[in-house]
């Protein structure tokens, strides 16, 4: 069991960017632990606040226990969506399989460690949502201590079912798509569908009268009561502890069957994926047909292939464009009633459209792909630096990706919002040009921050995408660049059109200065990276 424990520890450190060097181990572990703990607490606090707000509606509807069943159902759904994308890389296409297989451990120990990792990821996903909802229920309704024990037991049991279902789906996707672009598309569609569904439900509830929301909650309660895992979970939490046994059987039997199946495919799948990955990397690292296309086009083509080959990269950096489309849909389909009735032209130009533009700009500065565009190269960075191209050409290729993801969406959303609100031409132009300017600024700042805070020695590509210092620094700079003009506009007393022109000129000047630095000092820093 010690070998299994060590393998799980290595897997968790790899997943969260652990550092092997002894000198940095303590500092790295402290920083990562503190960041992860703070992030988890903030997320659970948000869930608890949402659960407390929801409890008032549930009281009105007469179904307060829906907090418990709904929390588990939402946790199961989130864990299922993320598990479909996570489990293949853990069980069936582990990038560290060859290295771990060479260690003095048995195949069974290696498989068991990977299975524990898959279970741990599922459990954290479920617990992060379910526990805050259940704590809110327990505190508000004075639940006994046994309630919390039953909830904790249920949260430990439920991931078994998620692992089994997500594992079978992931196995099917991997089998059919063979880890090609198609599998990434399927995973991306599932994740985006979940985000859109949550946003749509929130928008629907915000536009419904209290009586309609209460009726909807009663229907949800009936649906979740018919779903056996949530029914058993609620029953056990409310005092019937024997139902925990039935819940364990319901989740444990499919998990046992999945374990038996995946154990048979574990070695074969990882060897096959390793061979396929080797062949794929060899082909991917060449600028194919470079003689038939320009350097700029070849670099950008390589950037696109690399970007869309990694599901997590697309999901984390492309969510801004999706959110812009969702908010635009909320504006159009929610109607002007979202603002308390009909909105006159003056209010639309001075308040509603500026707020909409602020939201759009916020979306584009959240997570530009350039903030991790250099780090994502990892050990392959030497290939880029050895090509007969300038650093500026490489920067342009990565910057074009940021613009391609967001500029078309900025144009569509800005034009739709301007036409819907009926503003004048100059004000409408600001709804398009300002988000485009912030998109360019965020892309350039992302490159700069990544040059100063690179993360090249990763094993899990999600580390530089989600947990690197460059991503955080880029987001902070983008938010400051967005907050400063917002505060000034609130007290300036000028028209949004005039203020927008001033901000646009300032942003373009900032972009020019940042680009000049990238072409000179930034290029030297790029070639000095190790």
Give dist(CA 441, CA 328) in Å, integer: 22
> pLDDT tens digit string along 105-148?
777 777 788 888 888 888 888 888 889 999 988 888 888 888 99
Q: Which of 239, 287, 265, 300 is CA-nearest to residue 91?
A: 265
Instruction: Answer with the residue of higher pLDDT: 322 or 499.
Output: 499
pLDDT on residue 346: 78
Q: How many CB atoms lie within 10 A of CB 165?
A: 20
> pLDDT tens digit string along 61-73?
788 888 888 888 8
Three-state DSSP at 505 gives helix
Q: What would the mean pLDDT of 451-461 be, rounded to a whole number?
A: 81
Q: What would the mean pLDDT of 284-299 be, rounded to a whole number?
A: 61
pLDDT of residue 248 exceeding 60, the answer is: yes
Segment of 4-18, 159-173, 211-225 carrying the highest mean pLDDT: 159-173
pLDDT on residue 89: 66
Q: Which of 360, 343, 159, 132 is CA-nearest to residue 247?
A: 159
Q: How confident is the model at residue 193 (pLDDT cuts 50, 70, 90)?
A: low
pLDDT on residue 514: 95
Tell which phi-psi region holds residue 288, choosing left (phi > 0), alpha (psi between -120 and 50) or beta: beta
pLDDT on residue 22: 45
pLDDT of residue 402 exceeding 90, the answer is: yes
Q: What would the mean pLDDT of 268-295 be, rounded to a whole number?
A: 54
Segment of 3-7, 290-294, 335-339, 449-453 carrying the highest mean pLDDT: 449-453
For the chain, domain boundaries: 2-279, 294-527
Taking the CA atoms of the chain, what radius of gyration do you get in angstroms?
A: 25
> Contact, 173 vs 186, CB < 8 A?
yes
Give dist(CA 159, CA 78) in Å, integer: 11
Q: What would the mean pLDDT of 454-475 be, rounded to a whole number?
A: 79
> Contact, 438 vs 478, CB < 8 A?
yes
């Amino acid at each position: 069991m010690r070998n299994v424990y060590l393998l799980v520890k290595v897997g968790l450190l790899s997943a969260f960017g652990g550092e092997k060097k002894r000198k940095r181990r303590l500092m790295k572990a402290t920083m990562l632990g503190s960041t992860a703990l703070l992030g988890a607490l903030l997320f659970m606090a948000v869930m608890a606040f949402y659960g407390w707000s929801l409890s008032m509606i549930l009281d009105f509807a007469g179904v307060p226990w829906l907090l418990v069943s709904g929390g588990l159902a939402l946790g199961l759904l989130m864990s299922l969506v993320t598990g479909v994308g996570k489990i293949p890389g853990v069980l069936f296409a582990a990038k560290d399989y060859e290295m771990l297989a060479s260690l003095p451990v048995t195949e069974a120990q290696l498989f068991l460690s990977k299975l524990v990792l898959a279970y741990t990821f599922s459990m954290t996903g479920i617990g992060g949502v379910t526990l805050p909802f259940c704590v809110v229920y327990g505190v508000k309704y004075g639940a006994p201590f046994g309630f919390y024990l039953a909830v904790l037991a249920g949260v430990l049991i439920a991931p078994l079912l998620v692992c089994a279902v997500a594992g079978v789906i992931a196995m099917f996707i991997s089998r059919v798509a063979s880890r090609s672009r198609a599998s990434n598309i399927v995973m991306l569609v599932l994740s985006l569908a979940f985000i859109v569904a949550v946003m749509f439900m929130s928008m629907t509830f915000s536009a419904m009268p209290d009586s309609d929301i209460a009726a909807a909650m009663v229907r949800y309660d009936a649906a979740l009561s018919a779903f056996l895992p949530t029914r058993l979970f609620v029953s056990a939490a409310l005092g019937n502890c024997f139902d925990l046994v039935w819940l364990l059987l319901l989740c444990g039997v499919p998990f046992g069957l999945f374990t038996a199946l995946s154990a048979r495919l574990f070695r074969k799948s990882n060897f096959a994926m390793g061979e396929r990955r080797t062949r794929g990397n060899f082909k991917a690292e060449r600028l194919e047909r470079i003689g038939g296309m320009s350097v700029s086009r070849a670099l950008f083509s390589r950037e696109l292939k690399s970007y869309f080959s990694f599901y997590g990269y697309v999901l984390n950096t492309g969510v801004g464009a999706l959110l812009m489309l969702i908010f635009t849909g909320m504006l159009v389909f929610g109607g002007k009633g979202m603002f308390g009735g009909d909105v006159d032209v003056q209010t639309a130009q001075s308040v509603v459209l500026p707020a909409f533009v602020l939201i759009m700009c916020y979306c584009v500065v959240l997570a530009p792909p350039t903030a991790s565009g250099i780090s994502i190269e990892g050990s392959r960075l030497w290939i880029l630096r050895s090509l007969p191209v300038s650093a500026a050409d490489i920067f342009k290729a990565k910057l074009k990706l940021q613009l391609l993801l967001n500029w078309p969406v900025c144009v569509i959303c800005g034009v739709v919002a301007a036409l819907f609100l009926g503003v004048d031409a100059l004000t409408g132009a600001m709804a398009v040009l300002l988000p485009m300017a912030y998109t360019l600024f965020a892309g350039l700042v992302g490159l700069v921050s990544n040059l100063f805070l690179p993360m090249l020695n990763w094993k899990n590509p999600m580390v530089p995408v989600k947990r690197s210092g460059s991503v955080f620094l880029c987001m902070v700079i983008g938010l400051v660049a967005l907050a400063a003009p917002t505060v000034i506009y609130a007290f300036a007393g000028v028209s949004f059109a005039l203020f927008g022109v001033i901000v646009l000129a300032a942003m373009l000047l900032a972009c020019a200065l940042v680009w000049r630095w990238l072409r000179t000092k930034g290029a030297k820093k790029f070639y000095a990276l190790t």
